[in-house]
Structure 1
């Protein structure tokens, strides 16, 4: 088990299929940083409860909306034009790094908020992930299942 959330998230993200699952969930409306924090909490055996979930959402939402999403929106908007404009491609690359830095900061904030929450070895696997994953579509559920399976290995 990886101690800090950033290392946990980057290790998990590097596993086959995880990036695609995260992007599918993101397109379904999920905050991927929040999902990764949930998986981290699940891996630590931290019991889910609605109050803690609310605290995480309250910490994540303003940063996600004010910082991460605008960077992502701009980066995506530049995708097509950047393919034929080298200067814009370079700026888009820098923007992508800023987006990653913003996600790292969000994960750090979520870790700080939750690191004092007691964990256990008792099985409550998937509780956080289940509660934080937007439901409704089979694709989102499949992506969530893939994330959980990847985290277990």
Structure 2
């Protein structure tokens, strides 16, 4: 994820949070490991972390985000697959352009997630809940791999 102009239409608190967290040591690498090895959605992982910061639980009902799911399926994943198919040396310029397009698609994806969460009646407050426990619960909604979750919480705790 790259820094973006704060004045464009897809800018929102979740996007700003995602940029900050993604830049922290170990976070990006661990998120990408989860993406590549476990099939995790990095944007949902960042959203789960953000919700914990907001003292809110990630629930199955909250994860019903049709607009985001369609955008991810039709834009983010195809762009990523095209980028992965590029040779890092021979197709460097094309790979760079595809990465920029993928990042722009992810930014739009974050905007769709944020719009789907804003004012959503399915948001469950977790005020008073232990923060680390809430992080674990939110991330566990995305994967059953408790080793990955524990490592993510550790990286995140070192923010």
- Bucket of the pairwise TM-score, normalised by the shorter protein: 0.7 to 0.9
Is this contact kept in 1: 2:139–2:149, CA < 8 A? no
Distance in 1 between the 2:146 and 2:83 partners? 26
Larger relative contact order (CA 8 Å, sep ≥ 6)? 1
Instruction: Give CA-to-partner distance per residue, 1:18-53, whole Å, 9 cap, x none.
Output: 111111110111011011111111110123333223
**Could you tell me which of 31, 34, 38 is aligned with 2:44?**
34
For 1:60-79, what aligned pairs fall within 5 Å after superposition? Answer: 60-78=68-86
Distance 1:145 1:14, change over 3 A: same
**Aligned CA-pair RMSD:** 2.2
State the number of aligned residues: 140
Equivalent pair of 2:76/2:102 in contact (CA under 8 Å): yes
Q: Distance in 2 between matches of 1:48 and 1:141?
A: 14
4+ residue runs of structure 1 moved beyond 6 angstroms? none
SS class of match (2:141): helix
TM-score (norm 2): 0.76
Q: Which runs of 5+ in 2 are unaligned?
A: 1-11
For the structure 1 residues 59 and 35, does the alpha-carbon distance in structure 2 shift closer, same or farther, using more than 3 Å as the test? farther
1:47-101 deviation per Cα after TM superposition (whole angstroms, max 9, x unaligned): 3333223x24x443222221111111111110xx341x3xx31121111000000
CA contact (8 A) 1:5 1:40 kept: yes
Tell me, which stretches of 5 or more residues in structure 1 are unaligned?
A: none
Given candidates 17, 21, 44, the residue that maps to 2:30 is 21
Structure with greater helix share of residues:
1
Q: What is the distance in 2 between the residues matched to 1:143 and 1:48?
A: 19
Give the equivalent residue in structure 1 for 2:92: 89
CA distance in 2 between counterparts of 1:48 and 1:92 reads 34
Residue of structure 2 equivalent to 1:50: 60
